[in-house]
Structure 1
Amino acid sequence: MLSPKEFATLMLVRAAPDQIDLCRQELDILLERQLVALEQLVSGQQRFHLTGAGQSVLDAVARKR
């Protein structure tokens, strides 16, 4: 089960991946659970993106609303 902060971070990764502080503690948990992945951009910067599992979690939550 994810905490409310972890859910919020997952939603933020989906909505605004370029605006996330890469040092957020919740990202470590999301990485461990393979809900997000870190990609290396051509510019040399790094950015988080949702994995298929992360998208599935958000889709499931949206259906329950």
Structure 2
Amino acid sequence: MNFILFSLIFLGTFGTTEIVVIVILALLLFGGKKIPELMRGLGTGLKEFKKASEGKSSEEEEKE
């Protein structure tokens, strides 16, 4: 409860302006060509995390 209150007071919520600023900073830092590679890696990582949380390992999937 205290953490939620703290985050709302000090961190606030992300609005349109904040998201636009974050996207512009990401483009400036990584460049347009690097962003798709980063997102692909993020997607692969999320997929592996989901598999691991379901209890399936890559060895078990290969056997099926």
TM-score when normalising by structure 1: 0.30
Structure with the higher fraction of residues in strand conformation: 1
Between structure 1 and structure 2, the one with the greater Rg is 2
Structure with the higher fraction of residues in helix conformation: 2
